Amino acid sequence: MPEPKTVATHCPYCALQCGTRLSRERAGVTVRPSDFPVNKGGLCQKGWTAPTLLDTPDRLRHPLVRDAGGRLVPVDWDTALDKVAGELRRIQAAHGRDSVAVFGGGGLTNEKAYLLGKFARVALGTSQIDYNGRFCMSSAAAAGNAAFGLDRGLPFPVTDLGAADVVLLAGANPAETMPPLMQHLAHPELIVIDPRRSATAERAALHLQPAPGTDLALALGLLHIAVVDGWTDTDYIRGRTTGFDAAWQLALSWWPERVERVTGVAVSAQRTAVRMLAEAERAHVLTGRGAEQHSKGSDTVAGFINLALALGLPGREGSGYGCLTGQGNGQGGREHGQKADQLPGYRMITDPGSREHIARLWGVAADSLPGPGRSAYELLDALGTEGGARALLVFGSNPAVSAPNAGHITERLSSLDLLVVADFVPSETTRMADVVLPVTQWAEEDGTMTNLEGRILRRRRLQVPPSHARSDLEVLHGLAVRLGEPGHRYPTAPREVFDELRRASAGGKADYSGITYDRLESGEALHWPCPDNQNPDAPHPGTPRLFLDGFAHPDGRARFAAVDHRDAAELPGTAFPLHATTGRVLAQYQSGAQTRRIAELNEAAPESFMEIHPDTADRAGLRDGALARVSSARGETVARVRLVGTMRTDTVFLPFHFPDDERANLITGDALDPRSRMPEFKVSAVRVRSADEVGR
């Protein structure tokens, strides 16, 4: 069949998954936004420039294997896959199944995420699989599951936001991270909680500017005011929730003046925030990575959910709580079994019934499935150590840049016997690999993605991939067969994988069994859960809005969580007197592996920088535009000084998109949330000084 000239598909980057029309024209591939509900004809600069990535000059086009002289040299696929499979067998024979680990990504399609989990648990038989979503959504997932019995980023369509009167954004900067979403936030009054006056805070009716790592105290304080000032919805609390008293016992000791002392947010601003939310007819509380990427991220999200519950928002038409998921398939990526403790359908790997269901589908014995493995940071931290893995396969991540404590993690990666990376562009991690496998990218493949509202979308193929690139599904198939698996267990056609995934998910929390490629093809808006009701004439319509009739716990009630504030793992002191926090800029995506190769984006954001208050800079002897060295107890990074008068004087901000000695993660630490295992990307104690004196 000839390739189509135009396809309706979605942007390759973030969880908004803006709808686009891609066309192949003589001058190359062009993109136009479509009138899809999330982006309503809008795209951000990354979306507009995405086609450039398809034929970037340094696109990976051949499998590469490191030769005796230490250079990566092109080889054919059989040589590359034979080598990988041979090494994996040798390492597992000598050191056991768990000596091989797998690291996935929230950018992978549902089909890839599913097959990767199956490959790890069956073909490799390893428990050691986790993915970069652990760095992204795990705290909100832990809190959401505990509160509502179910974790779907937004339990309602994005378009509901536009009808709200007030939206509170805790640690999210969508004006840069999901620009077209701002169309839906134009009408509601915004309350933004962010230590920086971000582009989103600029548009807010109210900006609360706490010290990094103090959101939980603030959330407890807002709950305190809601109760004391009589704003709570007592009927809702009585009828639809449990656990209020225990949560209130802890919020009781967070009176407004104390909260002001800990967070720096004025009492009057706290009161205004609560009044705005409580007086609104329709209101939403949303969290982003700013509130979540902490060693108490899951408790912090629980604190904001407590506030939303006290005001009676979740599960009410037009109001609610949600988390803004991050990566393109950040939602689906967490449902199909690439997370250390999960099986497909958002099932727990420790649950005997779930193991039985999945094992039967996969044609293996339930007791042959491994148990839960290590979380992302712990998996990387253990590489090459006693009991840790000695070989690692990476699909869809660039941990040499994006993992916390990156200097240490880079060392762990280099201690491996075998590092295999599948990617379509060179990255800081492929550069360290023993074998690099060149794969297809978005416009060259079919599949499904699940956006931030839990809606399943079709990624469509526009053109043939470069001749030697293979899809991730083909790579997994090729490796599995070489490891002695029957080929039919690892289908390479996305539709076939999706059909198996549907059956795997049937009866699970994230039930996709009623969703088919044909239904998606006809343009139906299908949000999970969408069970197969066996009625072809009136199939299940999917679930755009969750919790309207009850929450997903057996008693139908939401749970308040008894959470209390605690300090960040590391506080500023004499040696390291400032808070550093990290995050994103509009023109770069994540580790930058994709966007740093696009000229327009590089012009807009060419290098790392540090936002710092002029007084703080002055004390450190730093001029605007000078190079600064920013050091923590872990290491040091280099960034261009940017004086910003609205910064807190105790805090600096760095983006994490840049490589080598500009990696912000050289300073971040290894503290993890005890429940979600989320690293504390958003707080480190640092010292800043001029780099000019010492040179680079």
Ligand X SMILES: Nc1nc2c(c(=O)[nH]1)N[C@H]1C(S)=C(S)[C@@H](COP(=O)(O)OP(=O)(O)OC[C@H]3O[C@@H](n4cnc5c(=O)[nH]c(N)nc54)[C@H](O)[C@@H]3O)O[C@H]1N2
Chain positions contacting ligand X, by CB under 6 A: 14, 105-108, 132, 135-136, 170-174, 176-178, 193-196, 198, 212-213, 215, 288-291, 293, 326-327, 395-398, 401-402, 422-425, 427, 439, 472, 581-584, 586, 588-591, 593-594, 653, 656, 664-665, 668, 681-682
Query: Contact 244/147 with Cβ under 8 angstroms?
Result: no
* Cα–Cα distances in angstroms (integers) from residue 319 to residues 151, 161, 322, 323, 529, in the given order: 17, 8, 10, 13, 20
For the bound state, the minimum distance from the C-beta of residue 126 to ligand X, rounded and expressed in Å, comes to 18
For Mo ion, which is the closer residue by CB, 15 or 166? 15
For the bound state, the minimum distance from the C-beta of residue 472 to ligand X, rounded and expressed in Å, comes to 5
Strand 206-208 vs strand 320-323: parallel, antiparallel, or unpaired?
A: unpaired
For the bound state, the minimum distance from the C-beta of residue 359 to ligand X, rounded and expressed in Å, comes to 27
For ligand SF4, which is the closer residue by CB, 272 or 602? 602
Q: Which does 215 bind (CB under 5 to 8 A by kind): ligand X, Mo ion, ligand SF4, none?
A: ligand X
Q: Which does 582 bind (CB under 5 to 8 A by kind): ligand SF4, Mo ion, ligand X, none?
A: ligand X
For ligand SF4, which is the closer residue by CB, 142 or 462? 462
Within 10 angstroms of residue 318's Cβ, the number of other Cβ atoms is: 17
Give the ranges where 40-186 is alpha helix by DSSP (H).
45-49, 77-95, 110-118, 138-148, 174-177
Which of 597, 640, 660 has its CA nearest to residue 46? 597
Stretch that binds Mo ion, among 131-139, 193-201, 237-245, 439-447 (CB under 5 A): 131-139
For ligand X, which is the closer residue by CB, 175 or 359? 175
For the bound state, the minimum distance from the C-beta of residue 5 to ligand SF4, rounded and expressed in Å, comes to 22
315 DSSP assignment: T
Q: What is the total count of residues that contact Mo ion (CB under 5 A)?
A: 2
* CA–CA dist 562, 248 (Å, integer): 8
Q: Which does 513 bind (CB under 5 to 8 A by kind): ligand X, Mo ion, ligand SF4, none?
A: none
Q: Which does 47 bind (CB under 5 to 8 A by kind): ligand X, Mo ion, ligand SF4, none?
A: ligand SF4
For ligand SF4, which is the closer residue by CB, 209 or 588? 588
For the bound state, the minimum distance from the C-beta of residue 309 to Mo ion, rounded and expressed in Å, comes to 26
For the bound state, the minimum distance from the C-beta of residue 161 to ligand X, rounded and expressed in Å, comes to 15
Measured in degrees and rounded to the nearest 5, phi and psi for residue 544 equal -65, -35
For Mo ion, which is the closer residue by CB, 333 or 635? 333
Q: Which does 43 bind (CB under 5 to 8 A by kind): ligand X, Mo ion, ligand SF4, none?
A: ligand SF4
Which of 407, 405, 439 has its CA nearest to residue 420? 439
How close are the terminal C-alpha atoms of the chain, in Å? 55
For Mo ion, which is the closer residue by CB, 102 or 136? 136
* Cα–Cα distances in angstroms (integers) from residue 47 to residues 30, 159, 461, in the given order: 11, 20, 17
For ligand X, which is the closer residue by CB, 461 or 545? 461
Interface residues with ligand SF4 (CB under 6 A) are 11, 13-14, 16-18, 39, 43-44, 46-47, 178-180
Stretch that binds Mo ion, among 326-334, 383-391, 539-547, 565-573 (CB under 5 A): 326-334
Task: Please count the CA atoms within 13 angstroms of the CA of 369 that sit on its side-chain side.
Answer: 30
Q: Burial of 55 by CB count in 10 Å (0-12 exposed, 13-18 middle, 19+ buried)?
A: exposed
Query: Would you put residue 470 in left (φ > 0), alpha (ψ -120 to 50) or beta?
Result: beta
Q: According to CB under 5 A, which one of 54, 136, 421, 452 is a site residue for Mo ion?
A: 136
- Token pair for residue 607? 């290098």
For ligand SF4, which is the closer residue by CB, 21 or 95? 21
- 247-267 per-residue burial string, b: 16 or more CB within 10 A, e: under 16: bbebbeebebebbbebbbbee
